[in-house]
Amino acid sequence: MKKFRKKLVAGNWKMNKTVADAQKLADGIKDALADCREVDVVLCPPFTALKAVGEVIDATSIKLGAQNMHWEASGAYTGEISGSMLRDLYCHYVILGHSERRSYFGETNDVVNRKVKAALGAKLIPIVCVGETLQERDAGRMQEVVESQLVHSLADLGERLGEIIVAYEPVWAIGTGRTASPEQAQDMHAFIREAVGKLGGVETASKMRLLYGGSMKPDNAVALLAQPDIDGGLIGGAALETRAFVEIVRAAIPKREPGLPAGTVE
């Protein structure tokens, strides 16, 4: 017997949903998943809807997450949000280093590293994103690129490395309708776990939850989530529709053999 890593499914709503729309979506998800305890569920609405969504999911097992944050605790950073501000809204998680932040806003691995440290300091759980572009994959550089992102984005964390969640996003599969095959996704997740082991030890790597973030949908979720090193999903487009998101969460519920106690697998 061995303990399994509890699956986690996070919905990244990106720049979508007014406050009213966000409340409606959160309500639907809450009602559908009222009895779900086998999977950790996180909703990451835009900053403007954090308070409203937090009120909807209050007193449930669903947690609130943000899509970004600044590395400073306060100061003259117009338009930015600090970790303490997110905690004040009862956020538990924050997405950092998303490929759209890296490509559209020029975030470097060093910037992501500073944000990771600030998030941990604010008692937030970072979901740190890594992934290669189509050009990098076609050039056979996908492992080189992802390992560099991991090494520099997660640098100098010491024992706190074990508090991180890593999301693998093949950039070529985000918003394109293309998806890595379960085998391709598993290969990269296994490589990431090995790379984390070099950074913080095999035990830390074995406990770390790794999410797949490349166009996971209800029709491919079961196959992806069945892979041994995929511990959940960072969901984009499918997170904006109640039924699709709920189906993905239900696909993540572990299947136990009769007679096995909760928390164990063969």
Q: Which residues are annotated as catalytic?
A: 98, 169
Of 205, 162, 207, the residue nearest 5 (C-alpha):
207
For the chain, the residue count is 266
Q: Which residue has the tokens 């399994």?
A: 4
The phi-psi region of residue 46 (left if phi > 0; otherwise alpha if psi is between -120 and 50; otherwise beta) is beta
Structure tokens at 59: 């007193």
Q: Dihedrals φ, ψ of 211, to 5°?
A: -105, 150
Structure tokens at 121: 């300091």
